[in-house]
Amino acid sequence: MFRYVMTGCIALALMGCSTPSTLPFEPSENVQVRIDSQFNPEHCEYLGEVTGSEGHWYSYLFYTNDAMMQGAMHDLKNKASAIGADTVFMISPQDFTTSFSVLGTAYRCQ
């Protein structure tokens, strides 16, 4: 009986530590993510590479892929906003069993 109680407590503790990042920070709402081939960065200033990720080795047990994808996109936009970018050209999503990561190139276009 004690073993089941401890297992339940550990599962709840891990779930509390793995809350997905579903809400973006306010400044990142102005960051556009582009994936189309029509994006032309000629009139933009290159600011660097940015990554966004969501998930841990244990969080995939508690959250859907959709929640982890949204968390990774919000993380990407937040990091782009932090360096002054308003546009991110997303290069490649990386879908792992236990997490989701995205890589993009950040630009200031406006």
* Domain boundaries of the chain, sorted by first residue: 2-108
Of 110, 109, 108, 106, the C-alpha closest to 90 is 106
CA angle 77, 56, 101 (to 5 degrees): 35
CATH code reported for the domain at 2-108: 3.30.110.70
The C-alpha atoms of residue 54 and residue 51 are separated, in whole angstroms, by: 10
Q: How confident is the model over 39-93, as pLDDT tens digits?
A: 888 889 999 999 988 877 666 667 777 788 888 888 999 999 999 999 999 886 6
* pTM for this entry: 0.71
